[in-house]
Structure 1
């Protein structure tokens, strides 16, 4: 695997595309409503919706589903494997371009939405929020959408996180816990930062659990340190211990953070 953080999912793309979850419809509705609430006649036609750190295109295609056929939807992704997979799997009327979230390839005041879904922890976040403020039209939305496994509500997830802490490369389960509202609020040109949350449960079988785990760049470090066979054996044993019936139930908390570009 490359030492370049933008290539962190090299070799993991197929599992990522197959096993990563989507996002709760209720929060997608909130996102759409937030964007529409800021619209005025000066906005470009069609609207430009940007998905920064698009990965294999899960969230890019989600934007198309949420907003319908009208807007132009563009996923921006620096990872070579991820970008190739997104383009190869495209059938939803969206576009993909190579680029970084901190240097979006769009002019000033051109986008109505800049979204980072399951990706902002990889960014230089202050630089990303400054870049979002640059490319957004007045009234436009910057949004961060995160699916977080709720390890505080599940003994299985607590053990899963402990496996990565014990055998990963300096992994900490709180590595994505930071004050996004405060970070958005600190960026000149952004205002009205807030958060909406939704709790839900994903049901998987053992094979899907293994597939999802193997799509993780953090679990990839465990695989490097223990070997794939031992890692899979550890994960299988955890499933059997906590879910003897084979039906794995993983609680999630999904958070949608939004802020608006001031005029």
Structure 2
């Protein structure tokens, strides 16, 4: 099923294109996250991954649930999504879940809850959730990188790109702790994402950021170019792999 819908809250500005780079460079989630969510769900029949992007979490959930419905408002993201057995992708807003009443065991939103109309989304979640279903808002925060580039990266993120981040980004920086969440809370596990990346992959990931795209659109790309130059100077060797770590933040609740 394909549902076409207009963008809202600026989503189309950020994610209308770039799905191929998003698929190539955005980090996937640890298997332990899917294991924890499946263990909390009342059953493992059906999961919904709203705002799925190119399926980084959807494909993990497919190994734990019989079926996964993955939705994203961006047709380009869905066109570049990773196929997996049991996963059905839909171009649809998170506030319109293509599932029947009380059919869903788990509803996830990974790195996208800050874009949603939460009242409408939660109302739709309550419609499709079976009793005891789990809601999971997932975000990964600002990365750390081993080695001398860390301080230069912090300056790039917090200072050089300050004027280009959309205001919704602050919710990611706070781990979604300040988002409206009217569900019985579940204590989250302590998890993080780790990757060993070469320089090309690291810079490719940075170029998927909404703030970097905004800087390019505004013809103010010098801070990005300066950081690329610094990274080339400070990286041990372009093919050398450096450890990148992101804190993984979860808001979990039972419907």
**Pairing of 1:171-190 with structure 2 (within 5 A):** 174-176=170-172, 177=174, 179-180=176-177, 183-184=180-181, 187=182, 190=183
Matches within 5 A, 1:17-28: 17-28=23-34
Cα distance in 1 between the residues matched to 2:169 and 2:77:
24
Q: Is 1:6 the counterpart of 2:11 in the alignment?
A: yes
Q: How does 1:1-263 map to 2 (within 5 A)?
A: 4=8, 5-7=10-12, 8-35=14-41, 38-39=42-43, 47-65=45-63, 67=64, 71-86=66-81, 89-150=82-143, 154-161=150-157, 162-166=159-163, 168=164, 174-176=170-172, 177=174, 179-180=176-177, 183-184=180-181, 187=182, 190-226=183-219, 230=222, 233-240=225-232, 242-246=234-238, 247-261=241-255
The alpha-carbon deviation at position 125 of structure 1 amounts to: 2.4
SS in 1 for 2:47: strand
Change (3 A) 1:58 1:157: same
The offset of 1:260, in angstroms, is: 0.9
Change (3 A) 1:61 1:222: same
Q: Which residue of 2 aligns with 1:43?
A: none
Query: Equivalents in 2 of 1:235, 1:53: separation in Å?
Result: 30
| Cα separation, 2, equivalents of 1:170 and 1:58 | 22
> CA, structure 1 residues 156+125, in 2 after alignment: closer, same or farther (shift >3 Å)?
farther
Indicate if the aligned counterparts of 2:139 and 2:176 stay in contact, CA closer than 8 A.
Answer: no
**Using the alignment, how far apart are the partners of 2:171 and 2:230 within structure 1?**
22
User: What do the CA deviations read for 1:205-255 (whole angstroms, capped 9, x no partner)?
Assistant: 221122112222221001222466x46532322324553445443321012
Alpha-carbon distance in 2 for matches of 1:137, 1:172: 30
Ranges in structure 1 where 5+ consecutive residues have no aligned partner: 40-45
Mapped contact 1:192–1:259 kept (Cα < 8 A): yes
What CA distance in whole angstroms lies between the structure 1 residues aligned with 2:117 and 2:93?
10
Q: Distance in 2 between matches of 1:123 and 1:172?
A: 10
Aligned counterparts of 1:170 and 1:239: Cα–Cα separation in 2: 24
| Change in 2 beyond 3 A, CA 1:195/1:84 | same
| Greater fraction of residues in helix | 1
User: Aligned-pair distance for 1:183?
Assistant: 2.6
SS of alignment partner, residue 252 of structure 2: strand
Asked whether the 8 Å contact 1:16–1:216 carries over to 2, the reply is no
The TM-score normalised by the length of structure 2 is: 0.81
Contact residue 223 and residue 231 of structure 1 kept, 8 A? no
